[in-house]
Structure 1
């Protein structure tokens, strides 16, 4: 056992030595691989196996599903991609795949590097899934638009800094924008699926309209838990009624909009702003306040600044995915 641990430490040291500036994608990621080097987690060490993704390794595309966006939405498509580890013939089989909630993996195609945050992974089967929004003219998007099942791609990770201690009850505010709702799902699950975790979760999802709210079924499952609350913010929700077409959006009392909501599903035809955030501040609920923001850099910066004031947060407890 001691010899195995020494070997794992040696492997980690080698991987860190091989980490170069070229491993950074250059997009200014909040959790840059140069700042948060992939390391074996306690879970991996307890399993006595190696995390297969600590260095660039090949994964096979097992399933590809295309979600078509509305014509007014740039990019056109959102892809659901399911990958499985494709071991080399000489590779040892005592490996696992550990991607903790809130962490991302780096995809490498040639000289192109892009980070993606899995919304699901399987520790023993060594599989994971990501949601990708194709950007018009984006170099990586051009590659991903053509990938098909059985194609091999290289990933490395996990990269990130967020950790959750279930022993300490917290008030966790999770703000998600568009497809970035995907990596917030594991963050919610790790709280709700632990019966001993007394933390509370507020899940605030910002999307164009109901059509662009992904994983609605999962959100409806979460709302069955006592310590979970969610709200959809849909500033461009618009039905076919004459009044809403003239206004350019649905009124809060719109019958067609309200009828489209599911049981226990809460939504507002508005943008999430400072006053809206302040309504979730309840000083009577104990626990450390934690904020997690998932979205593009503009959304992250604006929401982090706004929420820090509206929710009386310590900036040290703000995490950007």
Structure 2
């Protein structure tokens, strides 16, 4: 039979026992005791101040019992018998000391079933073609579990599922980041800024996206988002997220508040770019498809030696739903940048500020408009497309009709 610590009743205090989990949390630290219990919902989880944690192995003191709830199915919340040793807070990062303790096992079927990794649900896949996908990670863990079971050696499962805060990302494991601020961009979209350690960046390349993990009604889901901050930004990163009334991930995002911890992994994908590699970049985007275009704009205009021309075509329902208008207005002042707006449901150009009317079109984007843009490009353009599946298909079809070289098109 498995031998595990028995948690005390609510309100009862007992001395900590061997095998218990110890967490050191400083007063005022962003990651509170409730967050640790949510990340590691194990029996016997105790929270100590840093001073007590430093002397943890010498003279343990009585600690309050854990009252946390079970976490996600695929991540730190799914411990599956794999216990972490000691956790401690160091500045804004979560440090994990990996000293797993396994329960005593009799190699029975029920013992091994308790250690078997949980297969992810279909909703947990973001559908973005990530490598490795969450199902790849599950298959790797399952193969390791089968190997350990065949040999009767649970120590083969020693490698834990690590979750750290504010360090460089990994495509394989989720990283917890502290939400610093949330600013409303439009009626249905928000900009979220996440904290990094001072002087630390994510090390992203242009066009790379991250995968967000959420938990809604007990089900884990994952979605892909591209940071809109500059790829060399340090101390933070930002994402633009549209909130849908009935969206699963939107239900999770709506609950975010500054100070919350949010799990990301990545990066994935990317657009290979070198200064002056292309004479001109023509960027076609719809809705939040503008996200990967923003770091590209910043990257080119911040480099005085990069003389690439940039043409951005922003497709939206109306002027009010155009994202990042202030940023785009600043970018349009550069000598090598021009921006067009295609507004499918705007009733009149009179509704727009005077400075936008000349470069705006009412109605949907069509071949005639796209041909005009192509003809007025200052150099032969390389085309970037980002939007919904239908938008991407429409754009590629129009470009084919206009006999644009398919090898000069990149779809995010």
Q: TM-score by structure 2 length?
A: 0.56
User: Partners in 1 of 2:356 and 2:391 — Cα distance?
Assistant: 29
Partner of 1:277: 370
**For 1:284 and 1:151, how far apart are their aligned partners in 2?**
45
8 Å Cα contact 1:169-1:198 kept in structure 2:
no
Query: Partners of 1:295 and 1:217 in 2: how far apart?
Result: 21
Q: 2:372 & 2:270 partners in 1: Cα distance?
A: 28
Gaps of 5+ in 2: 1-118, 137-165
What is the DSSP-based 3-state SS (H/G/I as helix, E as strand, rest coil) of the residue aligned with 2:333? coil
CA-to-aligned-CA distance 1:205-233 (integer Å, 9 cap, x gap): 00111111121122221222222111101
Maintained 8 Å contact 2:176/2:263: yes
Kindly indicate whether residue 196 of structure 2 is the aligned counterpart of residue 85 of structure 1.
Answer: yes
Kept in 2: contact 1:169–1:197 (CA 8 A): no
CA distance in 2, matches of 1:286, 1:223: 18
CA distance in 2, matches of 1:65, 1:212: 15
2:48 aligned partner: none
Q: What is residue 97 of structure 1 aligned with on the other side?
A: 202
Residue correspondence of structure 1 range 104-123 to structure 2 within 5 A: 104-110=209-215, 111-121=220-230, 123=232
Check the 8 A contact 1:21/1:34 in 2, yes or no: no
TM-align CA RMSD: 3.1
C-alpha distance after superposition, 1:15-60 (max 9, x if no partner): xxxxx9989954543x53348x9xxxxxxxxxxxx97112421101
> 1: CA distance between counterparts of 2:378 and 2:292?
26
Distance 1:25 1:309, change over 3 A: farther
Q: Which structure exhibits the higher relative contact order, with contacts defined as CA atoms closer than 8 Å and separated by 6 or more residues?
A: 1
Following the alignment from structure 2 to structure 1, what is the Cα–Cα distance between the partners of residues 303 and 357?
A: 22
CA contact (8 A) 1:106 1:114 kept: yes
Partner of 1:141: 250
- The number of residues matched between the two structures is 257
Q: Does 1:213 align with 2:322?
A: yes
CA distance in 2: counterparts of 1:265 and 1:52, whole angstroms: 44
Q: Deviations over 1:59-101 (max 9, x none)?
A: 01000123452xxxxxxx2121111137xxxxxx996411222
Offset, 1:313: 3.2
Alignment equivalent of 2:291, drawn from 174, 177, 182: 182
Aligned partner (choices 355, 368, 384) of residue 262 of structure 1: 355
Does the C-alpha gap of structure 1 residues 34 and 283 become closer, same or farther in structure 2, counting only changes over 3 Å? farther
Aligned-pair CA distance for 1:183: 2.7
> Separation in 1 of the partners of 2:231 and 2:273?
19
Counterpart contact for 2:309–2:378, Cα < 8 Å: no
Structure 2 distance, partners of 1:23, 1:155, is 18
- 2:375 alignment partner, SS class: coil
> Partners in 1 of 2:336 and 2:122 — Cα distance?
39
Return the match for 1:53 from 154, 169, 185.
169
- Partner of residue 237, structure 2: 128
CA contact (8 A) 2:312 2:339 kept: yes
SS of alignment partner, residue 180 of structure 1:
helix
Paired with 2:206 and 2:125, the residues of 1 have a C-alpha distance of 23
Return the alpha-carbon distance in structure 2 between the equivalents of residues 227 and 124 of structure 1. 23
Structure exhibiting the larger radius of gyration computed from Cα positions: 2
Q: Does structure 1 residue 320 correspond to structure 2 residue 404?
A: no
Q: Distance in 2 between matches of 1:101 and 1:182?
A: 11
- Cα distance in 2 for partners of 1:122, 1:286 equals 26
